[in-house]
Amino acid sequence: MPDTRLNVSLQNHERSEPQRAVPAHFNEYIVACEHLRGEGIFDEIEQQFRLDRSGYQFIDAVLAGLAFFSAQPTYSGLRGMLDEVNGRGWSQALAAAGGRDRLCSQASMSRVLGDIPEEMACRFKEQLLGAWTPAAPFSAYEAVLWRDCTGQSWHGFAIDGRVQPFRRRALCEGEEYPPARRRVDSLGAKPGYSGRKRADVQMETSILEHLGSGLYLAMNYAAGNGQLSDDFAQGLALIERWANARGLEPGRCFLAIDGHQGGFAQLRAALRSPVHFLTRLRYYEPLKDPAVRAQLAQQTWQKVDDSRSGPQRWATEMGDYWLGDARARLVVSCFEPTDGKKRGAGCFVDGLQYEVYACDLDPTAYPAAEVVTTYYARAGRQENGFARLDRHMDLEKMYSDCAPGQQVMMALGVWLHNFRAIRGAELFGELEPIDVEAAPRKLESADTLPLAPTGAPAPHAAPAAGRPEPASLAVGFEASHAWWQSVTRKVEQRIGGLDGFSYDAQTRQIGCAKGAYLGLSGMRQRGGRVIVRFRIGSPQACQGCPFRRECTSSTSPTYRKEIEIHMPPPATLGAHDEPAAIQGQDKAADAPTHGSDPADKASPSTALLGLRLSIPDDLPEPGDLHMRQPVLVASTFRNAFRKAARSLKVEVTKSPPDSSTRHVDYLAMTAARRQRRRKTWDERLQWNSLPQQANITIAIRAPLTAARLLPEANTPASDPPFQNKANR
């Protein structure tokens, strides 16, 4: 950035309207630029993010993006904003706030975003949402913390993905037309599971959020089903660094995530991190066994506290999932659909719908009912957060045909969303301490499942013939590591002739040519052989697939790709014995039981991998206190910031005055000019920079209530201009 001088002054609000005032909907942009300039971030962007192109540079795209998002929802699109800014003569005033000569046009903006490499976009979003985000004054505020049933404080995080769908409509073909070109092809969108949305191809955005404050720590933009499993592992590492940087214990943080693609990949990543986790697990084979359901029905069930807008759930402990020496706790919830039909995720058996959750939270601090409540609190908070982003930032729109450029624009919108909350909180001065008494625990429970499944044995009924007593019941497909290696080899042989298919032995999923996944859906015994079945998650994944003809001749709309392989039973079982997952018997004597020390198990090379359900006889007693969720309403800070920013009166002047025409150098006085050498980095940056002798004056007139938005303003010591009416 050239050696310019920016003077910010706070003037009386009663003075006359400035003749060259910046429109009020760009005041947030001026405040954001003042922060970025004062922290030296603009200088870092100019030095670290350089594009190998002539004309406008990366910093110019950043300024245009900030100006657009700060003005929302004034404009319907980026082009409308840039056309009006350049048409009305606001371009140079707005660009001067960032140390540049003028804002670029829509065409130039599109070309700049298209020239951004992926590596640069990733570095930019990490720094923007990390080191370049100002410290939040409420990061350690009591209102952003979770309190468990023992009174301990927690920081909660969540990561979730959202689909950006695209339809591939038919294009006109013929000799009179030029070759067809789809804009979405340059974006790199791929087929995937779109949920309720209609899409032929899609992009997916995953965002890591601090649930208490509503601030976003990271985001990623990827094709198809995205990379949510990788994002989850990266999110765990980021949370650990976040906690260490603030002197917090990572073990007092948890990360909640949707059961994307079954939840097993998230489970494997989380069990090796000091940060706790919570997810939904798609493993319902044990619940299909009547004996298992009969035993679960005899346990103590806790009533799940909900918003009374959905079905009433009950929850209890289900057992453990062992992975090597790591153990995950399983919780099962149950409810009775009002219409008697399956709704959403889960397993529907005998008129009841079950859902399984995996976590490593202490059952004393987080009893089964609170695990379910916390999981759905994550969903509600993130869905509301996504709705606010769409309403205030229009992040669902396409700003670039290239994924890196689109990612840069989305990162700018997310950063400004955080900036509004942080600077808005500063308007309130020192936040008032809150004194929330820990309420005694009020978990309503029942000795048996208070729902009446149709066709299932009564809770007091004796076990079925040939079944073990419930106390010794253990289900799960117990197989050695060597057996699963043979399954891997068999699967790879089976899909070897299928183009585009691959197998992930860690997650036990088969990837198809479309980018969808066939998860492990079941195993059964037949004729002394074990049939292992992989099936795609939803029929929508196979609808409209361009490779469907290569997979099947079926025209059924409910068709789902399935792959079955036939294996000999594990060596620990006889040729005519049934696996525990089918028979429901505990035949693996060396398998760990609930409460056993992982150190007492076999070595990792011989340890049993997979699910082992060992239902405890005595459930742990929950803590004496009622769990409390965060109570901070961060949108109040954002609204206060926007209101205060709109009250500013901003005038930008530049001396010497700008010229409407650029100087045209028609003399080649240097050898570099005569030889048409490529320009240096500094020469490229200077193309749209301000002259070295330029002096920019930003005159801001504001009421006292908005003075805290300006870091250089000298405000008298007084009471905070905003007060919390609830605690006044």
Residue 595: which pLDDT band, with cuts at 50, 70 and 90? very low
Residue 417 has a pLDDT of: 94
Q: Three-class SS string for 124-161?
A: HHHHHHCCCCCCCCCCCCHHHCEECCCCCEEEEEEEEE
pLDDT reading at 469 higher than 60 = no
For residue 137 the two structure tokens come to: 């004054």
Q: Is residue 643 part of a domain?
A: yes
What distances in angstroms separate CA 339 from CA 70, 313, 336, 454, one per listed residue? 46, 15, 9, 14
Question: What average pLDDT score do residues 272-297 get?
Answer: 83
Beta strands, E only, 336-429: 347-349, 352-359
Query: How many domains, in total, are found in the chain?
Result: 1
Name the residue range of residue 678's domain.
Answer: 5-132+636-727
Q: Residues 258, 263, 267, CA angle at the centre, nearest 5°? A: 110
Residue 505 has a pLDDT of: 80
Q: Is residue 703 part of a domain?
A: yes
Residue 15 has a pLDDT of: 46
Q: Is residue 610 part of a domain?
A: no
pLDDT tens digit string along 606-622?
Answer: 222 344 555 666 667 88
Residue 9 has a pLDDT of: 54
pLDDT reading at 244 higher than 80 = yes
Residue 325: which pLDDT band, with cuts at 50, 70 and 90? low
What's 628's DSSP letter? B
Q: Kindly give, in sequence order, each residue whose CB lies less than 8 Å from that of residue 415, ignoring residues fewer than 6 positions away.
A: 128, 129, 132, 133
Cis previous bond, 274, omega within 30: no
**Alpha carbon 357 to chain centroid distance?**
19
pLDDT winner (highest mean) among 188-202, 356-370, 693-707: 356-370
pLDDT reading at 290 higher than 90 = no
CA atoms within 13 A on the CB side of 138: 32
Residue 81 has a pLDDT of: 92
Q: Is residue 677 part of a domain?
A: yes
Q: Is residue 616 part of a domain?
A: no
Count of residues for the chain?
728
What's 577's DSSP letter? P
Q: Are 608 and 591 in contact (CB under 8 A)?
A: yes
Residue 581 has a pLDDT of: 37
Mean pLDDT of the chain: 77
For residue 208 the two structure tokens come to: 């890591």
**Count of C-beta atoms within a 10 Å radius of residue 626:** 17
Roughly what angle, to the nearest 10 degrees, separates helices 106-114 and 58-70? Answer: 120
For residue 469 the two structure tokens come to: 């007593």
pLDDT reading at 709 higher than 70 = yes
Helix (H, G, I), strand (E, B) or coil at 469: coil
Residue 697 phi, psi (nearest 5):
-120, 120
Better-predicted residue by pLDDT, 286 or 86: 86
Instruction: Sort 121 into a burial class: Cβ within 10 Å, 0-12 / 13-18 / 19+.
Output: buried
Better-predicted residue by pLDDT, 353 or 194: 353
Residue 145: which pLDDT band, with cuts at 50, 70 and 90? very high
Min mean pLDDT across 149-163, 167-181, 710-724 is at 710-724
Residue 83 has a pLDDT of: 92
pLDDT reading at 216 higher than 90 = yes
List for the chain the helix, strand, coil content (%; round to 5): 30, 20, 45
pLDDT reading at 308 higher than 80 = no
Residue 57: which pLDDT band, with cuts at 50, 70 and 90? very high
Residue 8 has a pLDDT of: 53
Helix (H, G, I), strand (E, B) or coil at 623: coil
Q: Kindly give, in sequence order, each residue whose CB lies less than 8 Å from that of residue 181, ignoring residues fewer than 6 positions away.
A: none
Residue 36 has a pLDDT of: 93
Q: Is residue 40 part of a domain?
A: yes
Report the candidate in 364, 292, 368, 298 with the shortest Cα–Cα distance to residue 330: 368
Instruction: Sort 706 into a burial class: Cβ within 10 Å, 0-12 / 13-18 / 19+.
Output: buried
Better-predicted residue by pLDDT, 468 or 708: 708
**Count of C-beta atoms within a 10 Å radius of residue 612:** 24
What's 75's DSSP letter? -
% pLDDT > 90, the chain:
25
Q: Is residue 25 part of a domain?
A: yes
Min mean pLDDT across 78-82, 636-640, 645-649 is at 645-649
Q: Is residue 394 part of a domain?
A: no
pLDDT tens digit string along 84-143?
Answer: 998 888 998 899 888 888 899 999 999 999 999 999 999 999 999 999 999 888 888 889
For residue 112 the two structure tokens come to: 């700049």
Residue 339 has a pLDDT of: 83
Residue 509 has a pLDDT of: 84
Question: What average pLDDT score do residues 675-700 get?
Answer: 75
**Count of C-beta atoms within a 10 Å radius of residue 449:** 21
Q: Report the distance separating Cα 459 and Cα 464, nearest Å.
A: 12
Beta strands, E only, 360-459: 445-446
